[in-house]
């Protein structure tokens, strides 16, 4: 009995919201501007979005199913996240709409307090679910984008480059945590096999500092590369990293280090049996 | 499964083709140390390309083979260690110190040729 009652009330409510659509929507758009939300968007855009959010909102109240709204929230997030819209703004506008609609219900039923109570009983849970769905949809979309960017960043930040037949360089830039260290190792070892490398120069000029577990990992990488038959030359150790390596007691006999990348490549060329001479000099001799 | 040992001019080549039991490893060690003298070989290549796991006993045996062969007057090269295997080995602290390693059979032969 009570459920049917609630449904009737919701239907009445939806009819009310449809009927007063124009003024409620305008009121909402005005409140959004007043609250200085969605500042990244123009007035016309805000109004257009407000229209479709409003329609979706009322439709969800009517049907009670959240799937359409969820899909819409995802789609909306996809459009507005690249424009720099923040989480608090999205949650803010949905809560504002909830507020605007609730106030109009107060105005409509103010003469009958009992009925108003029942209307709010029907409205509040549905409105809360909607706010929840939109907020969750937005945050999920945001997290998905962050994950994608992290992935892209990781791919970008670990190039294994061949500079000469059988000579690879691995320039490392930025902060290395243990996950990135593991990935670097994996890519390097695969690169050694794929390019049949005999010498690898790992340049860590761009790494300001590393903790002892990452330093240990670097040593393991050097040893694993040797097991594949490739000699590793590490270049560009900063004073801090040098101190870390000595503190963890690295066996320096196993680590071949050279001051900078240029020196490292020259050393690698020597190991491979190359000798680079200026053209003038070599033609004089010929 | 026994490991075939091929004699190729001054070198012996042992290609491991599937996972080996401890007994197989020991018999490989015995055959290599024996044949290296019999054929007066200068070098031994052990090819582990087919192995995707190399446990501590296998690694230790490979190192022992290298040391024993050196005492018998020849050089050993371990070739074809897979990237994943290599990293797993160093994490276990097995680095095959002072044992020569090379990418594959071809590189191993080139390394021995230069000696």
Residues B41-52: tens digit of each pLDDT? 999 999 999 999
Do the chains contact at B107 and A229, CB–CB below 8 Å?
yes
CA torsion A70-A75-A81-A86 (nearest 10°) is: -30
pLDDT tens profile A179-200: 888 888 999 999 999 999 999 9
How crowded is the C-beta side of A202, counted as CA atoms within 13 Å? Answer: 26
Q: How confident is the model at residue A168 (pLDDT cuts 50, 70, 90)?
A: very high
Strand pairing partners for B14? B5, B46
Averaged pLDDT for residues A212-216: 86
Smallest Cβ–Cβ distance between B86 and the set A196, A198, A227 belongs to: A227
pLDDT of residue A1: 45
Q: Which residue of A has its CA nearest to B96?
A: A227
Question: Helix count (H) and strand count (E) of chain B?
Answer: 4, 5
> So what's the pLDDT on residue A52?
83
B103/A196 CB distance under 8 A: yes
The size of the A-B interface in CB pairs under 8 A is: 57
Asked if pLDDT for residue A286 goes beyond 90, the answer is no
Share of chain B above pLDDT 90, in %: 61
Q: Residue A266, Cα to own-chain centre: how many angstroms?
A: 39
Residue A215 banded pLDDT, cuts 50, 70, 90: confident
**Cβ atoms within 10 Å of B32's Cβ, excluding its own:** 23
Length of chain B: 115
Average confidence (pLDDT) over B64-91: 91
| Cross-chain residue pair B86–A198, CB shorter than 8 Å | no
CB-count burial class (<10 Å; 0-12, 13-18, 19+) for B48:
buried
Distance from CA of B8 to the nearest CA of A (A): 22
Q: How far is A57 from chain B (nearest CA, A)?
A: 54
Question: How far is the C-alpha of A119 from the C-alpha of A7, rounded, in Å?
Answer: 10
The token pair at B34 is 């024996």
Mean pLDDT for B79-92 is 91
**Is a pLDDT exceeding 60 seen at residue B29?**
yes
> In this prediction, what percent of chain A has a pLDDT beyond 90?
19
Structure tokens at A68: 């359409």
A183 Cβ partners below 8 Å, 6+ apart? A154, A158
Name the burial class of residue A80, with classes exposed (0-12), middle (13-18) and buried (19+) by CB atoms within 10 angstroms of its CB: buried
Average pLDDT score over residue span A114-141 = 85
Q: What is the ipTM of this complex?
A: 0.80
């Amino acid at each position: 009995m009570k459920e049917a009652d609630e449904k009737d009330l919701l239907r009445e409510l939806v009819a009310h919201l449809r009927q007063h659509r124009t003024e409620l929507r305008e009121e909402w758009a005005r409140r959004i501007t007043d609250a200085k939300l969605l500042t990244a968007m123009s007035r016309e855009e805000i109004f257009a979005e407000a229209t479709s959010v409003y329609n979706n909102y009322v439709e969800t109240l009517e049907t009670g199913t959240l799937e359409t709204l969820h899909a819409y929230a995802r789609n909306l997030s996809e459009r507005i996240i690249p424009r720099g819209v923040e989480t608090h703004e999205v949650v803010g506008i949905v809560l504002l709409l909830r507020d605007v609609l609730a106030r109009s219900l107060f105005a409509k039923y103010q003469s009958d307090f009992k009925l108003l109570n029942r209307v709010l009983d029907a409205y509040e849970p549905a409105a809360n679910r909607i706010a929840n769905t939109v907020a969750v949809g937005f945050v999920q979309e945001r997290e998905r984008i962050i994950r994608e960017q992290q992935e892209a960043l990781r791919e970008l930040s670990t190039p294994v480059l061949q500079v000469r037949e059988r000579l690879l360089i691995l320039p490392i830039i930025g902060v290395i945590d243990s996950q990135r260290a593991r990935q670097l190792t994996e890519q390097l070892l695969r690169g050694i096999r794929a390019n049949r490398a005999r010498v690898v120069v790992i340049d860590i000029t761009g790494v300001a500092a590393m903790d002892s577990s990452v330093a240990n990992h670097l040593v393991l990488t050097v040893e694993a590369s040797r097991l594949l038959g490739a000699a590793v030359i590490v270049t560009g150790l900063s004073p801090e990293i040098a101190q870390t390596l000595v503190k963890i007691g690295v066996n320096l006999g196993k680590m071949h280090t050279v001051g900078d990348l240029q020196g490292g490549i020259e050393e690698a060329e020597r190991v491979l049996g190359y000798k680079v001479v200026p053209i003038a000099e070599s033609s004089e001799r010929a | 499964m026994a490991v075939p040992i091929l004699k190729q001019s001054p070198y012996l080549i042992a290609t491991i083709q599937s996972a080996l039991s401890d007994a197989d490893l020991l018999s490989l060690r015995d055959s290599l140390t024996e044949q290296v003298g019999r054929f007066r070989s200068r070098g031994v290549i052990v090819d582990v390309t087919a192995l995707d796991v190399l446990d501590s006993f296998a690694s230790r045996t490979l190192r022992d083979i290298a040391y024993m062969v050196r005492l018998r007057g020849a050089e050993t090269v371990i070739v074809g260690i897979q990237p994943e295997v290599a990293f797993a080995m160093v994490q276990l602290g097995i680095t095959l110190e002072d044992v020569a390693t090379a990418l594959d059979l071809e590189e191993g032969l080139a390394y021995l040729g230069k000696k």
